[in-house]
Structure formats: C-alpha cells, structure tokens
Amino acid sequence: MNAANLLKQYFGYDKFRPGQKELIDSILSGRDTLGIMPTGAGKSLCFQIPALMMDGITLVVSPLISLMKDQVEALNQAGIHAAYLNSSLTPGQYRKALQFAAAGRYKLIYVAPERLVTEEFLSFALHAQISMVAVDEAHCVSQWGQDFRPSYLKIVEFVDRLKIRPVLAAFTATATKIVQEDIVRILTLREPLRLTTGFDRPNLYFAVQSPQNKYAAMKAYVDLHPGESGIIYCLTRKTVEEVCLRLRAEGVSASRYHAGLGDEERRKNQEDFIYDRVDIIVATNAFGMGIDKSNVRFVIHYNMPKNMESYYQEAGRAGRDGEPAECILLYGGQDVITNQLFISHSRENEELDLEALALVQQQDRERLKKMTFYCFTNECLRDYILRYFGEYASNYCGNCSNCLGRFETVDVTETVKALLGAVNTSRQRYGVNVILDTVRGADTTKVQNYRMKENPYYGSLAKMPVYKLRQILNQLQVQEYLTVTDDAYAVVKLTGKSQAVLDGALPVVMKMAKEAERPPKKAEKKGEKQKKRRQKLAAELHAEDFTLEEEQLFERLRALRREIAAEEKVPPYVVFSDKTLVHLCVQKPVNEKELLEISGIGAFKAEKYGRRFLKCMCEGLEGLLVNPAD
C-alpha cells in the first residue's frame, strides 16, 4: 500500500497536511530527515506511516511516558501493533514486551532514551532489524532548547552500536536556528532533508485583554463556553489554587495542576481533564508537556508568561484538531513584576557561574520585554508572533483581537511631547507612575517628595483619562520612543528618537482603540457557542446549518463515544474527534462503505465501532421520525 492509502486505511484522513508527504518520502528514500513543524501540525504520522511501509522495526524515542502512552494507544486504536518500553512497566511486563518485540509483533516500539543502551534492550536490538530510529521532541538533545534531557545523548551511542545504520528521523516544534543545528550535529544526521513548515496556526484566534478584574473577565468567558475543554494558565501555584477554588465554588467543572501537588493527585487531575471528566484545568506551566489532547477549545493565560516561546507553546495546546480555538491572554502590570522577580531569583541551573548567570538573566529580561510588547501592540498579534519566530507574515490576519478590534490612527504628538518632556525635565530618574501622576496633576506622596509640582508639565494632561495615558506610554515603548529599565524601579529613559519629537521635528501617530463603545455582546445562551461551532463545521462540509435533529444526533453520538472510551480506557478523542462526529451527523452514512468516507474513520475503526455508531445513528433518526410533532 502506498502512503496515501495508509493514511486513509489506518487514520481515516484523505489528505496529507503541508510537509507530511515530503517528510515521509524522504524517510522512505533512506535519507536522514529533520522535520520542524508547529505543535498540532501532525508530526507523528510522518514517522508512523513510513514505519508501516519499511521492512523491520521503527524505534521511536520520546521523552515522556505520557506521550508514549498516548501515541501507542492511538496506534492500537487504529489497528497498528505498537508498544512502549519505559519505567511504567514492571520488570515482568518489560521482558514480555521485549519477547514480543523480538518475535516481530510490533512495527513501532516507543522507547525511553535511557533504556536504549541497557544490556537487556541492546541484546534485543542487536538481533533485530531496526530500519528507522525516529526521535520525537528532538530539541531535548540541545542545551539551548526549552527542555534539555541528557539521556537523549544516548541515542547516538545506541545507533553506533547497531551493525546496520538505520535511517534517523528527528522531529521538533522548536524553531530557533541554534537548536536545529544542535539536533543535526549531536544526533549526527547525515545530510538530512530539512523541512520547516510555517509556524502559523490559522485556526487559533489570539486576543489580549487588560481587564480591571481578571477573574470576572475569565469567568464571563467560561460561562459563554459551557462544556468546552479549556486550560487556564497562571503564573503561581497560589493563583492556581485561588482561581480553581473559586471556579468550583461557582459550579464550574474544574481541576488544578501544579508541581506542589502530590504525584497521585497530579496524575488523577491530568487524567480527569484528558478523559473529559472535567472541562477545565487550572494550571501552572508545569502542565502540558506530553498532553496530546486534541479538543482543547481555549487556552486562557490568567497571567502573562515569561516569554513568547512559552506563550506560543502553551497557547498552541488549543485546537490541535485543526478546528477553531481561542487563545486569550489577560494582561496585568503585576505580571511583569512577578516575572522580573522570577528572573532575579532564578537558580534553575546551578552549574552556571555568576557571569554566565548574569548573561542568562539579561537574555531572560530581553525576552520578557518582547512578551510584554505583545500585550501592548495594537498591530496584528499573529504577525507579531510569527515575526518573533523569524517568519514573515501579513500584517492583517483577520483572526486576532487587534485585527478585529476597532482602531483609528490618531496624531498624539502633543500628548507625547508632554510625556517625554516630563521625563526629560525630571532628568530621567523616575518610574512610569511618577511620570503619569505628574502630567495628570495628581497629589501623591511621591509627587510631593520629588517636588514634581514644580515640573513644567505638571497637570498638563489632566484632562486625559489615565488608562489612555498608559496605553500611549506602552505604545511609546513598543515604538522605542522610550525605554524602561529592567530593574525593580523601572525607570523611564529617553531614546535617540525622543529628542526629535521634543524638538518638534517628528510627529507621532498611533493606532488607538476607538472610543465609541460597542454595545456589549449579548450573553449567548448555554451551549449556543458550541452549537455555532458545529454549524460552522457543518458549513465547511457544504451542508446547510445543523438542524435540531442533527444537534440531537450529535449529542447521542457523543454519549456513545464516551461509553466506548470508558470501555477501551482511552480518552474520547482517541476514539473519534469532534470533527468526525460532525461529519457523521451531516453525512448520515447508512452502511460501512459510506462510513469509510468520513474523515477520521479508517478501516480498522470502521470494523471495530462502525456497527455501534450506525445503529446509534439509525435509532436517533427513527426516534425523530416517530415524534414529528416536535
């Protein structure tokens, strides 16, 4: 069978996504291969399909037990023989699995890197035909990556022991050049095909908000999305506790996750979320690595994270199924301070000497600044993200809060002159708040102590609302008319550009949020939003809107999916994705042949679950027919 047939047969998909075919072909041609694709792009298939087509066994190296488990479960559900070898197995189970492996039972074997060069594993591997070693999350070999794992260095040691060198294929979502070079060098890839697909995730909507009351803003969002799966990231354990407790007290189905909890509770809470037993998980950044849950519909950042890398990785856990999902960041000035404290007190890497530590901290502060500017910018958020990762994008995406917001271009030269003037005449010694209070004409202790009432700009912007002044100050930083020092005092300094404005030689225009308040969106009824999403999907399938009957059918199918997932002890999305259920509702297949035309249903799953789903659909439709009065 060729690759396209296998895609259909086992995974039930009709088309390869960008990059997949090229990577598969490269591996099949025997060439080492490096695939760099964003989270959710579909890297797993790029080694799983060639594994099925090559003689012999493919070893997949993966950093986390949960990742291996998830992928092996998904493969087994698709009818592919695969197993994992890691510390979650008892010695007895481990030996048994190796025996099966030696007997040729598995096409794919997932193995923890530290196992590779053990006696036991080598004695198997040296007598087996290993045709490919696929390294997932390959950035783990690099010290520069987000997640260096020294055990990954054993991969090369292992490959060198084999009599016949297998094809090496490496995959990562990390874009930076230095990490890519490390992967090629350390894994000793031979003239690899390198393929980078775009980092854009068009199905994700990005938004930044600076609400007065974060909890209220977040809660309002959650209320509008009942029953949807979401992650709420907080910076500290304490915030996780507070937010989770309050949500639960208010009747929201939520659970918590952070490194301060015991192993047992962490595992349980994570599973509850993955298995759709709770809707929302409130977590620190400890949560997420190894989560392949495909139906996360929103990721809310209750606090701004420390850098864009973390943000995109965490936000990217939304919408892995390719369907619309939302990533919302709730910015507050305190977030910057908390992150600065983390940086100043970071002792993460104890091997660093003081000089190296200072350098790392400086880089961290620089990254934090770029993160902060993401929250300040009025330009397209997607464009900002992609440019950060070195991609060119258009400056209008139409699917972020800035592109969809209402802005106008305003000449703010006079206001800016007053702000810069206040900084200049007070000899660049004070922080943002003192400057703000001065131009507003406030009478605070600091204003008195620093004798700012004598400043020529005192009270010169008294008529302007303070939030607007803050916005302008933020924009001035993004556009580099001002900088703010990184230390705790956050002193405002002028830049080369400032002087020209002060001299009156340079006018300043800014894109500002339009004043006229839009009428507040009417709160949508419970479930309304989900319904809309399904109707959108239905529309993509060129069907009319979802009818009431189809709505009800969808709920029946969902219940059946939950039932099967419980029987199989796998998460519901491993059985069928939401998208597949929508297809079913719209297309209404009546026999197995028609079933196979549905995206996400391969031959194996059709055989295994087809009858139950067909029956469920049939009953659902009949039930509706005998009740024509509704």
Residues at the interface with Mg ion (CB under 5 A): 43
Q: Which residue is nearest to ligand ADP (CB)?
A: 42
How many residues belong to the site for Zn ion (CB under 5 A)?
A: 5
The answer to the question of residue 45 lying near ligand ADP (CB under 6 A) is yes
Nearer to Mg ion, 321 or 437 (CB): 321
Nearer to ligand ADP, 11 or 158 (CB): 11
The answer to the question of residue 207 lying near Zn ion (CB under 5 A) is no
Nearer to ligand ADP, 44 or 498 (CB): 44
Rounded CA-CA distance 433/491 in Å is 10
* Least distance to Mg ion, CB of residue 137, Å: 7
- Give which of 11, 4, 8 is closest to 321, Cα–Cα: 11
Query: Which option in ligand ADP, Mg ion, Zn ion, none does residue 403 bind, with CB closer than 5 to 8 A by kind?
Result: Zn ion
Query: Which option in Zn ion, ligand ADP, Mg ion, none does residue 461 bind, with CB closer than 5 to 8 A by kind?
Result: none
Rounded CA-CA distance 553/584 in Å is 9
SS (H, E, C) 444-502: CHHHHHCCHHHCCCCCCCCCCCHHHHHHHHHHHHHCCCEEECCCCCCEEEECHHHHHHH
Instruction: Give CA angle at 62 (60, 67), nearest 5°.
Output: 110
Query: Which option in ligand ADP, Mg ion, Zn ion, none does residue 39 bind, with CB closer than 5 to 8 A by kind?
Result: ligand ADP
* Least distance to ligand ADP, CB of residue 168, Å: 18
* Least distance to Zn ion, CB of residue 382, Å: 5
- Give which of 201, 393, 389 is closest to 299, Cα–Cα: 201
DSSP secondary structure string, 267-313?
Answer: HHHHHHHHTTSSSEEEE-TTS-TT---S-EEEEEESS--SSHHHHHH
Instruction: Give CA angle at 544 (579, 297), nearest 5°.
Output: 30
The answer to the question of residue 320 lying near ligand ADP (CB under 6 A) is yes
* Least distance to ligand ADP, CB of residue 342, Å: 27
Largest Cα–Cα separation, the chain: 87
- Give which of 377, 281, 376, 366 is closest to 332, Cα–Cα: 376
The answer to the question of residue 43 lying near ligand ADP (CB under 6 A) is yes
Q: Which residues, at least 6 apart from 415, have a Cβ–Cβ distance to it below 8 Å?
A: 461, 464, 469, 472
The answer to the question of residue 17 lying near ligand ADP (CB under 6 A) is yes
* Least distance to ligand ADP, CB of residue 46, Å: 8
Phi/psi at 306 (nearest 5 deg)? -80, -25
- Give which of 235, 229, 224, 226 is closest to 255, Cα–Cα: 229
* Least distance to ligand ADP, CB of residue 587, Å: 17
The answer to the question of residue 319 lying near ligand ADP (CB under 6 A) is no
Sole binder of Zn ion in the list 225, 382, 583, 605 (CB under 5 A): 382
Q: How many helices (H) and strands (E) would you count in the chain?
A: 27, 17
Dihedral of alpha carbons 331, 332, 336, 341, sign: negative
Taking the CA of residue 558 as centre, how many other CA atoms within 13 Å lie in the half-sphere pointing to its CB?
13
Q: 323, 578 in Cβ contact below 8 A? A: yes
Which of the stretches 9-17, 405-413, 437-445, 605-613 binds ligand ADP when contact is defined by CB under 6 A? 9-17
* Least distance to ligand ADP, CB of residue 549, Å: 27
Nearer to Mg ion, 195 or 543 (CB): 195
The answer to the question of residue 288 lying near ligand ADP (CB under 6 A) is no
The answer to the question of residue 42 lying near ligand ADP (CB under 6 A) is yes
* Least distance to Zn ion, CB of residue 383, Å: 6
Sole binder of ligand ADP in the list 26, 39, 415, 438 (CB under 6 A): 39
Sole binder of ligand ADP in the list 24, 34, 37, 82 (CB under 6 A): 37
Which of the stretches 11-19, 22-30, 77-85, 302-310 binds ligand ADP when contact is defined by CB under 6 A? 11-19
Nearer to Mg ion, 68 or 397 (CB): 68
Nearer to ligand ADP, 49 or 423 (CB): 49
Q: How many other C-beta atoms are found inside a 10 Å radius of the C-beta of residue 16?
A: 18
> Measuring CA to CA, how many Å separate 307 from each of 33, 285, 368?
29, 12, 5
The answer to the question of residue 44 lying near ligand ADP (CB under 6 A) is yes
SS (H, E, C) 510-535: EEEECCCCCCCCCCCCCCHHHHHHHH
Sole binder of Zn ion in the list 116, 140, 400, 476 (CB under 5 A): 400
Query: Which option in Zn ion, ligand ADP, Mg ion, none does residue 380 bind, with CB closer than 5 to 8 A by kind?
Result: Zn ion
Query: Which option in Mg ion, ligand ADP, Zn ion, none does residue 45 bind, with CB closer than 5 to 8 A by kind?
Result: ligand ADP
Q: How many other C-beta atoms are found inside a 10 Å radius of the C-beta of residue 350?
A: 6
Sole binder of Zn ion in the list 380, 412, 478, 574 (CB under 5 A): 380
Q: Which residues, at least 6 apart from 228, have a Cβ–Cβ distance to it below 8 Å?
A: 279, 297, 298, 529, 530
Sole binder of ligand ADP in the list 32, 279, 292, 364 (CB under 6 A): 292
Helices marked H in 89-190 — which ranges? 91-102, 119-125, 154-161, 177-186
Rounded CA-CA distance 425/367 in Å is 30
Dihedral of alpha carbons 410, 413, 419, 420, sign: positive
Query: Looking only at residues 156 through 215 of this chain, which bind ligand ADP when binding is defined by CB under 6 A?
Result: none
* Least distance to ligand ADP, CB of residue 38, Å: 7
* Least distance to ligand ADP, CB of residue 510, Å: 38
Nearer to Mg ion, 147 or 366 (CB): 147
Query: Which option in Mg ion, ligand ADP, Zn ion, none does residue 400 bind, with CB closer than 5 to 8 A by kind?
Result: Zn ion
The answer to the question of residue 294 lying near ligand ADP (CB under 6 A) is yes
Q: Burial-class residue 281 by CB neighbours within 10 Å (0-12, 13-18, 19+).
A: buried
Q: Which residues, at least 6 apart from 385, have a Cβ–Cβ distance to it below 8 Å?
A: 199, 206, 308, 312, 374
Nearer to ligand ADP, 16 or 257 (CB): 16
Chain residues that interact with Zn ion, rule: CB under 5 A? 380, 382, 397, 400, 403
Chain residues that interact with ligand ADP, rule: CB under 6 A? 13, 15-17, 20, 37, 39-45, 292, 294, 320-321
